[in-house]
Structure formats: structure tokens, C-alpha cells
Amino acid sequence: MTGTATRTGGEWVVAALGAEGVRHVFGIPGVHNLAIYDALLRQDRITHVLARHEQGAGFMADGYARSSGRPGVIVVTTGPGATNALTPLVEAHAGSQPVLLVMSDVPSALVGQDLGALHEVPNQIECFRPVSRWADALRGGAEIPARSRAPSTSSGPAGPGPVALSIPTDLLSAPVAARLTPAGEGRRPPCDVGLIEEAARYLARAERPILVAGGGADRGGGDREFLALARRLRAPVVTSVMGRGSIPETDPLWLGVLPNRRATQEALEAADVILAVGCRFSHRSTKGLLLNLEFRPDQALIQIDLDPRTIGRMHVPALGIVGDARDGLAGLLGAMPAEAPVSAWDWTALHRARDAREPSLHGDDRTGCSGPSARRCRRMESWWAIRRASTIGWSGTSRSWRPGRSSTRSARRRSATASRPRSGRRSRARPRGRRRRRRRGTLFTAAELATAAKYRLPVVYVVMNDQDYGAIRYLQTQLYGRTGEHALAGPDVLALARAFGVEAYQAASPEALRPALDEALALSGPALIEVPLAIEPPWGL
């Protein structure tokens, strides 16, 4: 395995991915990357998923990485094929997801010459540097084995996130003598013991501690330790959108999602110690239209994160700890004193803030669902139905709902957003929990309905169809007092789904959604459900 051998560059790409434990690749063959595809066809360790568009392939790889915890790999061809994958790479970069983009390029002698070679984009790799943790254009075939490595979920030299690799087509087809270096172990660096002990002292003295779980807490596999620490401190928990699932949302300790100002603002302002695990406090969540977060000098912010660049980027912490979330949380549990800390939280007030959303998330309270509130409650009926059916996420302005991990694991199948099919059968990638997927409409990646149908993926698309860019209309009205260019026409999404070989249903009312979901979830392949329902602001928080 580690001896010198002669293989084509394409064979080295596939061999390196296989040695790294990659088992699924998403992509589209093109004239320049056929050497990779020829190597894929002659082996059986890696399964290829054929997409209809490179953007769809990229979103599949990103979704695969999020749901399985394994690297998502995209293989695309030169020029437009490569740049079509740029948008999903932006998404992977924003979520620090381990995604590898392998793209072919024009022959090495023509790279950067701007001579009009087939599919040429001059200096193609430069398009990807701003949205990659690491991006490189290879200049020799001997580099391929070492560089064609899928990024691990651990922190590399540039932190966790996507990697882009550009390989000239002549290097892919030419034989080269090289060797595979040992596969990376993907170990996450442990947290500094002294800093963990200091953090434990902060928490032991705290009267009003609060825990914030980001995507790093969930992705690091420390959800059990996180929940144990929250219960040990009897501290309220706030999750970022990507951190949902770190604690069951039916747990009394859970307050809400970070951007939900109604549930989180007062608690975050009242806390004396804030422990943030794997949360970067992104601008859109904490400085957006809802939550406006600042920490005072008398509040101690403790950040644990795998990516050192995240710590202190938005808020200066009293203590910044770089390392694995699970290791850090286990260390905190071990370092906490035996006696239970004193809690000064007013839980009645906290739960009142948590339940400020309308209607309540906790239970089936329909109070206020008459008169002017009837339309909003009708909308919430749909949320309840889908939440109970265990959905992955939403598209457009809809918000995700995500109960605890235990209910997710017991679900027979998963639902998905209208715009991004999931990347494999459960036998291929066992989801670790449901993820938020936010895209802006069915037609953005409608072609991938064909992919779901081809592979008989157990995916349910729920399309909340208002035939409008409703958020744009709302903002136009609020900002300018007039609207335009927001109304949509067609298509018949049920006919479109059926044309791709996907079972299709219409739930004409929120009450009809649950039986439609039950029928769709009982199928062995993909299904689409259309709900003709406008999502009127303010959107569910």
C-alpha cells in the first residue's frame, strides 16, 4: 500500500481517496476528468453518485459531510464544471464542513495562458481560494497521491473546512511513479488541561451560567457530555442553528435557537458566565435582524473551538480554548467540584421567554388560534406535523425543527428540503442527526430530483408553495412601500416530480399534511409533498 508504484494521475486520486477511507464521491464526468472516472469504474471501494448539475453534486457532498460526519468529495470537470461547484463550497466554508473538491484543469502547459483552451478559466484555482481552507493547483503528477486527501473533521493547518484541488488533465492521464503516504488519522487536538481547569473554576463560581452549543459541539460528538454538563450546572442551553440536536428540544434546559431574540436575548444578557462550544457567533445570527448580542466586561465568555480563528473573532473571551469539543467537555465534567453549583436562574421567567413563540413549541397549546391569529396557527399546524415526522430541514424562509437525537435515530426515514436531496441511502451514510438545510426554492436544484429517483433515495421533499418570493415582497413593502418582480408562475411541481419518477402528493391543508407524510414515509423511494401555503412574516422563530 505504501510502496512505490506506477499509476495514472486519475488512479492515484482514487487510490488516495480510498486509502483515506472515502466511500462515496459525488460528481459529473467531463472530457478532462475521464481518467478519474475510468479509475472509479475499475474499483468497488468507492461508490459514485451521479448528479445532474455540479451545484447539486456539491450540495450533496456538503449534506453528506453534515449528516455522516465523514468528508464529502466532489469530482467535477474543468472551467464551468468547476465553477458550478463554487456556491456549495461557499456553504461548506460557512459551516466549516470537510468537503474536498477535485477539479480537472486544462493541460498544464496551458494553465494561466488565457489562450482559449477548451473550458479554460485562467488561473481557475484562484476562484476557490477565498472559500477554501486550503486550495492548490498541482504542477506535477507525483504530487497527486499526497494532495488528493479528503479533509478530516479535525483541524488542519488552516482549520476545519473545505479543500479545493485543481489537477491539469494531462497529469490525470499520464502514468507517474509515486507512493501513498500513510492515511491521516484525523485525530482532534485535545484541550489544554490547565485552561479547562480554569474554565471549571469560572463555572463553579457562576450563579447564572449559560451554555451555547454551536455546530462544533454537535459535529465533535460531545453531545452526551454537553448535556451532562448542562444538567450538572442546571444551566439553560442555547443552540445555534447548526448546533441543534446537542440537547433535545423537549428538555426543560433548552431555551431556543441563538437568533431567536425572544427566547435568548434576556438570558444571554443576564448570564454571568457563558460557555460557548463550537459556536462562532456568526454575524447573521447575533448582529442580524433579530438578536443583537454584546457581552459586558462583567460577563465571562469561555470559548471552546477546534478552529483557533473562530475564538475572539466576534467577541473577546475571558478564556479561549482550542481543541476537541468532546475532550474539553469531558475535562470540564471531571474538573467540576462534587457539590452542585448554586443557580440563581428564574426558571419560570426563562420558560416564559422560551414559549414566547406562537404557538408554543412545547406541547400542542392552541391558545390564541382564533380570529386574526388563525392564519398563523394554520401555518404552525404544518410545522407540528412535519416536526413529529422527523424532518431534516427546510428551504427558503422556513426554519428547521429538530427534536432530540434519540427521536432522530429511531425514525425509519428522513425528510429533506425541497431543494437539496440527501446524498445516499441510510446504508451508505447513517445520519447522526437532522441538519438545517436552507435553500431558496425547489427549482434552484430541481434537476436533482432525478438523482433521488435514480438511486431510490428515501427522501421526502416538502414544498411550501406560495408562488412568490415572499420574503422579498415583505422587505420591499417594509423598506420602499412598493413591490415588484417577486411573483412566480409555475411550474406544476407535482407534475415535475412525477416526470422525474418521484411520487407526488398535495396536502391541500395543514390537516392533510400528516397523512400525506405518513404515506410518503412508507415508500421505498423518494416523494414530494406540495403544501400550497404562504409563509407570512414574522416567520417562526
Q: How far apart are the first and last CA of the chain?
A: 52
Give the CATH fold of the 371-531 domain.
Answer: Rossmann fold (3.40.50)
For CATH 3.40.50.1220, the residue range(s) in the chain are 193-354
Average pLDDT of the chain, as a whole number: 82
Other residues' Cβ atoms within 10 Å of the Cβ of residue 540: 20
Supply 8's cell numbers. Answer: 495514472
pLDDT, residue 429, reads 41
pLDDT, residue 380, reads 52
**C-beta separation of 226 from 215 below 8 A:** no
The model's confidence at residue 67, banded by pLDDT at 50, 70 and 90, is: confident
Other residues' Cβ atoms within 10 Å of the Cβ of residue 287: 14
Supply 184's cell numbers. Answer: 491521516
Give the CATH fold of the 5-178 domain.
Answer: Rossmann fold (3.40.50)
Supply 496's cell numbers. Answer: 415535475
Give CA–CA dist 515/443, Å, rounded. 25
Helices (H), 34-84: 34-41, 54-68, 80-83
Please, what is the angle between helix 347-354 and helix 261-270, to 10°?
A: 150
Supply 334's cell numbers. Answer: 471531571
**C-beta separation of 148 from 16 below 8 A:** yes
Give CA–CA dist 171/9, Å, rounded. 6
Section 483-494 average pLDDT: 90
On the question of a cis peptide bond just before residue 359, with omega within 30 degrees of 0, the verdict is yes
pLDDT, residue 387, reads 54
Q: For a pLDDT cut of 90, what percent of the chain falls above it? A: 55
The model's confidence at residue 523, banded by pLDDT at 50, 70 and 90, is: very high
The model's confidence at residue 183, banded by pLDDT at 50, 70 and 90, is: low
Give CA–CA dist 47/70, Å, rounded. 14
pLDDT, residue 432, reads 38
- Pick the more confident residue, 66 or 371: 66
The answer on pLDDT for 395 being more than 60 is no
- Pick the more confident residue, 366 or 487: 487
| This prediction's pTM | 0.78
- DSSP code per residue over 437-481: ---S-GGGGGGGHHHHHHTT--EEEEEE--SB-HHHHHHHHHHHS
Give CA–CA dist 102/320, Å, rounded. 34
CA distances from 447 to 258, 358, 452, 461, 466 (A): 34, 36, 10, 13, 21
- Pick the more confident residue, 218 or 473: 473
**C-beta separation of 521 from 453 below 8 A:** no
Q: Kindly report, residue by residue over 498-508, the tens digit of the pLDDT.
A: 999 999 999 99
Q: Which CATH superfamily is domain 193-354 in?
A: TPP-binding domain (3.40.50.1220)
Tell me the one-letter amino acid at 334.
G
pLDDT, residue 381, reads 56
The answer on pLDDT for 76 being more than 90 is yes
Give CA–CA dist 451/190, Å, rounded. 40
The model's confidence at residue 284, banded by pLDDT at 50, 70 and 90, is: confident
The answer on pLDDT for 408 being more than 50 is no
pLDDT, residue 266, reads 92
On the question of a cis peptide bond just before residue 491, with omega within 30 degrees of 0, the verdict is yes
Q: Kindly report, residue by residue over 409-440, the tens digit of the pLDDT.
A: 233 333 333 333 333 333 334 333 333 333 34
The model's confidence at residue 441, banded by pLDDT at 50, 70 and 90, is: low
**C-beta separation of 59 from 27 below 8 A:** no
Section 150-172 average pLDDT: 78
Give CA–CA dist 180/195, Å, rounded. 38
Give CA–CA dist 68/423, Å, rounded. 10
Give CA–CA dist 430/424, Å, rounded. 9
Section 329-342 average pLDDT: 89
**C-beta separation of 76 from 101 below 8 A:** yes
- Pick the more confident residue, 283 or 288: 283
SS3 276: strand
Other residues' Cβ atoms within 10 Å of the Cβ of residue 86: 17
For CATH 3.40.50.970, the residue range(s) in the chain are 5-178, 371-531
The answer on pLDDT for 362 being more than 80 is no
Section 89-116 average pLDDT: 93
Section 190-213 average pLDDT: 96
The model's confidence at residue 2, banded by pLDDT at 50, 70 and 90, is: low
Give CA–CA dist 537/333, Å, rounded. 42
The model's confidence at residue 259, banded by pLDDT at 50, 70 and 90, is: confident
In this structure, what is the dihedral angle of CA atoms 463, 464, 468, 472, given to the nearest 10 degrees? -110
Q: For the chain, what percentages of helix, strand and coil (3-state, to nearest 5) are there? A: 35, 15, 45
